Structure 1
């Protein structure tokens, strides 16, 4: 095999490994969203929004021009090995009450040996989860997110 073909093969393997890395992180964000929803023990998984569309209480978003925008997992941006995303939790007094308020928590996720690292600079959060995919243990992260939200909601003027 020529040296050029060797380099072409290495390039193909590199591209495949990079794509798999980001796909794994995107899928893991979905695992985190579902796990956090379960952790919260939501009485209902969804509510009807202003346009009467069924909407999950816990959703994934990204920052676009300073605002949070709900996205599909494959739309999440990656940079320097970290996948950037936000968990949006919509709160209300009851499923059919309005207005509803969504609180976003920005997070970054990356793979590490034996698991994942989740960080949030705005909330001084660092969580290491062992395992991979559906087997990763994010229970400590869910507790931290819950504490961040409780602190946010304890504000009184």
Structure 2
């Protein structure tokens, strides 16, 4: 029975280690949403009401794509609720930050920007990859200066969205 007990112990340790890994990545993803919201100057956890769905949404919302959607359907954005486990594979957390932008001429109209992320833990920190309007960027966040890294990514996200909205080619 000693080998069986050793195998059970190894299984328990493996599961605990994996859970800790994913929880750590979840915390970084939540921190990134909060840092981006703060960088934009949006009031913390500020929301708007969508009369069509009759739901409240944050202006800066953390979520993920519904992986169960059929290949011919547009995947549905699922907003993160405290305690959710964001899907991941191959040690990479895949999530989305959805930014709702009020129209300057009609505050009832929102433009929605989805930013896709891939986050992976490395020895000294985290590798983050994000895609805005088909343009992918990669950055490294050092554990020792995580807040500074989240701030830097937030600045780059803002500039990436501004660049994506550039309509100078129509002038």
TM range (shorter): 0.7 to 0.9
Shift of 1:67: 2.6
Give me the TM-score of the superposition, normalised by structure 2: 0.79
Q: Which moved more, 1:114-123 or 1:7-16?
A: 114-123
Shift of 1:10: 0.9
User: Where do 5+ consecutive residues of structure 2 fail to align?
Assistant: none
**Aligned with 2:119: secondary structure?**
strand
Shift of 1:104: 0.3
Q: What's 1:29 paired with?
A: 29
Shift of 1:49: 2.4
**Aligned with 1:154: secondary structure?**
coil
Shift of 1:99: 1.4
User: 1: distance between equivalents of 2:24 and 2:18?
Assistant: 10
Q: What's 1:39 paired with?
A: 39
Q: Which moved more, 1:127-136 or 1:145-154?
A: 127-136
Q: What's 1:7 paired with?
A: 7
Extract structure 1 runs of 4+ deviating beyond 3 A.
51-54, 132-136
Structure 2 counterparts to residues 1-157 of structure 1, below 5 A: 2-42=2-42, 45-50=46-51, 53-64=55-66, 65=69, 66-72=74-80, 74-93=84-103, 97-120=107-130, 122-131=134-143, 137-155=149-167, 157=170
Contact 2:98–2:112 (CA<8 Å) still a contact in 1?
yes
User: 2: distance between equivalents of 1:79 and 1:132?
Assistant: 26
In the alignment of these two chains, the number of paired residues is: 156
Contact 1:61–1:68 (CA<8 Å) still a contact in 2?
no
- The verdict on how the C-alpha distance between 1:155 and 1:110 changes in structure 2, with shifts beyond 3 A counting, is same
Q: What's the C-alpha RMSD, in Å, of the aligned pairs?
A: 2.5
- The verdict on how the C-alpha distance between 1:78 and 1:124 changes in structure 2, with shifts beyond 3 A counting, is same
Shift of 1:132: 6.9
